Amino acid sequence: MQNLKKTYSDLPKDFHRSIDPMPVIKPKLICLNHELANDLSIDTTDEIQLLQYFSGNEVPEKSSAIAMAYAGHQFGNFVPQLGDGRAMLIGELYDNEGKLKDIQLKGSGVTAFSRQGDGRSAIGPVIREYIISEAMHAMNIPTTRALAAVSTGEHVFRETALKGGILTRVSNSLVRVGTFEFFRARQDFQNLRVLSDFTIDRLYPEISEEEDKYLSLFNRIAKKQSILISKWMGVGFIHGVMNTDNCSISGETIDYGPCAFMDEYDPNAVFSSIDRQGRYRFNNQPKIALWNLSCLAGCLMPIIQGEQEEREEKIQASLEETAKDIDLLINEEMVRKIGLEHSDESETLLQDLLKNMHEDGSDFTLTFRSLIAASEKKYEGFLSNFKQAGRAKEWLKDWERIINNQKTKDQNNLAEKLRLINPIYIPRNHLIEKAIKDIENNEDDTFFYQLLEATSKPYLDQKNMDLLSLPPEEEERVTQTFCGT
Ligand code: AMP
Ligand code: MG
């Protein structure tokens, strides 16, 4: 951790506030991500030293120790100042490909932006984010990553006293749509340009010489978000708090609060205890991504090129293009899950399947996964996901017909294609809950590591891991998830 860079803390003072670190009583390492640490050239031989850093008890040399300023639309309402209320950016490190990554502690204590909060996190949300973000990474879904999880030896007080924890996460950039909104709300166009140039330099250097680079910046971010949403939809992931302050400009999944993977398919699934109107329900995510992007568009509008009318037209055209793009990307991703290329016929077939799954309460993950066996004429597994077997059999017939029609050279290995897009192990709510309980109550991390192992190879059938692929029994069901706060 001697090579930390401080490019963000070198930005003008309005971008951040410095933090006086708050040490914790008795830090203990729950988990260290050795593979990621190696990728960042972090020396893992001295775990005692690393524990000091990842608990916030010691700030690495050349560290920045700052809270980032941002605003945000929360459930549609604008809050002009939010900022890191419980997170500390300690700096940036180059990975093995020469890309700079933000290193941030979450749950590390109060900052200038903590408002009424204690700046801390309970151990549950730390373990949750560790497991889910690493699972997302393993499924090739852009995400912040988990470098370390630490228990603090202290309690945090929510409804009851809970054990405290700190997560160290790694990101291509922790700038959010809300960071742009922060400066836009203050009519601070100079810093808006500084932020845009910083973002281009960090994430999109290929557009730095373009004449209308801020319009291109919008288009790049829009594309990344569109890809991200299509990937979420493909694995049945519901983010739960798609506020603009949780919408990353690098197109990574960020801020794992009350998120969840659904078990049985329900297009209107909501897990978050605070999402009472279902604003962030599964099927509304594409619309919300577009809504968030239109907030970003409003921020960039004053600095893109041309007269007002021309700028509005350009942004309008970009937003319309993005709306189409999100739909197309989702459709492509979903028909790939049934082994098909995109066409009207594939789309209709997919919609039929989803309708059957919804009506029969089929497990989202296992139904798609069972198509591997079905592609080899073993239909039992697929049919067992449905209550109405007759209808499911009809669907299989249509599927086989279209597969045969579409058979091109590279479709010969259908089973393999299906295997590489339809995971068997996802971090289901009830499994995460068990991992958390075991650690919280008994300091037993066996199940945590098992779950991590299964979900880090999500496409590979693994020995003795059957239980980790199954939906919950009735008494294990988790129907509500909560914010990390
Ligand atoms: P989130 O819902 O986690 O994205 O957080 C929304 C805002 O609340 C951010 O500004 C957080 O920094 C802040 N926040 C969340 N939890 C806490 C906490 N325990 N203490 C202080 N600030 C918090
Ligand atoms: Mg957040």
Query: Is pLDDT of 52 > 70?
Result: yes
Burial label, 102 (beta-carbon count in 10 A; 0-12, 13-18, 19+): buried
| 485 close to ligand 1 (CB < 6 Angstrom) | yes
For 133-142, what is the mean pLDDT?
A: 98
Q: Nearest 10 degrees: CA dihedral of 329, 335, 341, 343?
A: -80
**Amino acid occupying residue 90:** I
DSSP 1-67: -TT-B-TTTTS-GGGEEE------SS-EEEEE-HHHHHHTT---S-HHHHHHHHTTSSPPTT---EE
Q: Which pLDDT does position 306 carry in this prediction?
A: 97
Q: Are residues 286 and 343 in the same domain?
A: no
Is pTM, for the whole model, over 0.85? yes
Q: Where are the alpha helices (DSSP H) in 73-185?
A: 123-138, 177-185
Q: Nearest 10 degrees: CA dihedral of 430, 372, 409, 403?
A: -100
Query: Is pLDDT of 409 > 70?
Result: no
Q: Are residues 350 and 317 in the same domain?
A: no
Token representation of residue 199: 């973002």
- How far apart, in whole angstroms, are the C-alpha atoms of residue 380 and residue 383? 5
| 117 close to ligand 1 (CB < 6 Angstrom) | yes
Of the candidates 191, 142, 228, 226, the residue with the CA atom closest to the CA atom of residue 13: 191
Q: Which of 245, 255, 263, 325 is flagged as catalytic?
A: 245
Nearest residue CA, atom 15 of ligand 1?
485
Q: Which pLDDT does position 296 carry in this prediction?
A: 98
| 274 close to ligand 1 (CB < 6 Angstrom) | no
Q: Looking at the CA of residue 243, tell me the nearest atom of ligand 1.
A: 4
Q: How far apart are the first and last CA of the chain?
A: 28
Of the candidates 470, 388, 472, 389, the residue with the CA atom closest to the CA atom of residue 380: 389
Distance in Å, CA 74 to ligand 2 centroid: 10
Say if 378 falls within a structural domain.
yes
Q: Are residues 350 and 328 in the same domain?
A: no
**Amino acid occupying residue 65:** A
Q: Are residues 74 and 134 in the same domain?
A: yes
Max distance between CA atoms of the chain, in angstroms, equals: 66
Nearest residue CA, atom 13 of ligand 1?
85
Q: Which pLDDT does position 412 carry in this prediction?
A: 65
Instruction: Please state whether 251 falls in left (phi above 0), alpha (psi between -120 and 50) or beta.
Output: left
Distance in Å, CA 26 to ligand 1 centroid: 24
Token representation of residue 169: 């996460």
Q: Are residues 78 and 173 in the same domain?
A: yes
Q: Which pLDDT does position 407 carry in this prediction?
A: 75
Say if 427 falls within a structural domain.
no
**Chosen domain end from 419, 450, 466:** 419
At CB < 8 A and 24+ separation, what contacts does 211-218 make? 211/305, 212/304, 212/305, 212/306, 212/314, 214/300, 214/303, 214/304, 214/305, 215/300, 215/304, 215/305, 215/314, 215/315, 215/318, 217/300, 218/293, 218/296, 218/297, 218/300, 218/304, 218/315, 218/318
Contact between 334 and 326 (Cβ < 8 Å):
no
Say if 482 falls within a structural domain.
no
Q: Looking at the CA of residue 70, tell me the nearest atom of ligand 1.
A: 10
Average the pLDDT over each of 39-53, 245-259, 284-298, 471-485 and give the range with the smallest value: 471-485
| 73 close to ligand 1 (CB < 6 Angstrom) | no
Token representation of residue 437: 């309980």
Contact between 134 and 253 (Cβ < 8 Å):
no
Q: Are residues 218 and 241 in the same domain?
A: yes
Distance in Å, CA 114 to ligand 2 centroid: 12
Q: Are residues 332 and 351 in the same domain?
A: no
For 198-221, what is the mean pLDDT?
A: 98
For 90-103, what is the mean pLDDT?
A: 98
- Per the listing, tokens 């960090």 go with 202
Q: Which pLDDT does position 132 carry in this prediction?
A: 98
Nearest residue CA, atom 2 of ligand 1?
483
Q: Is residue 478 classed as helix, strand or coil in its secondary structure?
A: coil
Q: Is residue 90 classed as helix, strand or coil in its secondary structure?
A: strand
Sequence-distant (≥ 6) Cβ neighbours of residue 267 within 8 angstroms: 281, 282, 283, 354, 358
Query: Is pLDDT of 312 > 80?
Result: yes
Write out pLDDT tens, residues 230-270.
999 999 999 999 999 999 999 999 999 999 999 999 999 99
**Is 245 known to be catalytic?**
yes
Distance in Å, CA 85 to ligand 1 centroid: 5
Check residues 410 and 17 and name the one with the higher pLDDT: 17
Contact between 8 and 20 (Cβ < 8 Å):
no
Band the pLDDT of 94: cuts 50, 70, 90: very high
Q: Which pLDDT does position 13 carry in this prediction?
A: 98
Residue 368: give the domain boundaries.
338-419
β-strands 72-74, 77-79 pairing:
antiparallel
Distance in Å, CA 118 to ligand 1 centroid: 9
Query: Is pLDDT of 272 > 90?
Result: yes
Q: Are residues 350 and 376 in the same domain?
A: yes
Say if 39 falls within a structural domain.
yes
Band the pLDDT of 2: cuts 50, 70, 90: confident
Say if 128 falls within a structural domain.
yes
| 88 close to ligand 1 (CB < 6 Angstrom) | no
> Which ligand minimizes its atom distance to the CA of 259?
1
Residue 248, beta-bridge partner list: 176
**Chosen domain end from 372, 393, 419:** 419
- How far apart, in whole angstroms, are the C-alpha atoms of residue 84 and residue 69? 7
Q: Are residues 183 and 277 in the same domain?
A: yes
Contact between 41 and 96 (Cβ < 8 Å):
yes
Candidate of 84, 108, 114, 116 to mutate for ligand 1, largest count of ligand atoms within 8 Å of Cβ: 114
Q: Are residues 74 and 132 in the same domain?
A: yes
If you average pLDDT over every residue of the chain, what do you get?
96
Q: Which pLDDT does position 14 carry in this prediction?
A: 98
Say if 42 falls within a structural domain.
yes
| 137 close to ligand 1 (CB < 6 Angstrom) | no
- Per the listing, tokens 């291109």 go with 216
Number of domains present in the structure of the chain: 2
Say if 350 falls within a structural domain.
yes
Query: Is pLDDT of 119 > 90?
Result: yes
Q: Which pLDDT does position 84 carry in this prediction?
A: 98
Contact between 396 and 382 (Cβ < 8 Å):
yes
Band the pLDDT of 410: cuts 50, 70, 90: low
Q: Are residues 77 and 210 in the same domain?
A: yes
| 257 close to ligand 1 (CB < 6 Angstrom) | yes
| 246 close to ligand 1 (CB < 6 Angstrom) | yes
Of the candidates 72, 90, 100, 107, the residue with the CA atom closest to the CA atom of residue 18: 90
Q: Are residues 321 and 346 in the same domain?
A: no
DSSP 265-316: --TT---BTT-TT-TT-GGGHHHHHHHHHHHHHHHHGGGSSS-HHHHHHHHH
Say if 10 falls within a structural domain.
yes
Q: What is the percent of the chain where pLDDT is above 90?
A: 95
For 341-350, what is the mean pLDDT?
A: 96
Q: Which pLDDT does position 411 carry in this prediction?
A: 57
- How far apart, in whole angstroms, are the C-alpha atoms of residue 10 and residue 17? 12
Distance in Å, CA 483 to ligand 1 centroid: 9
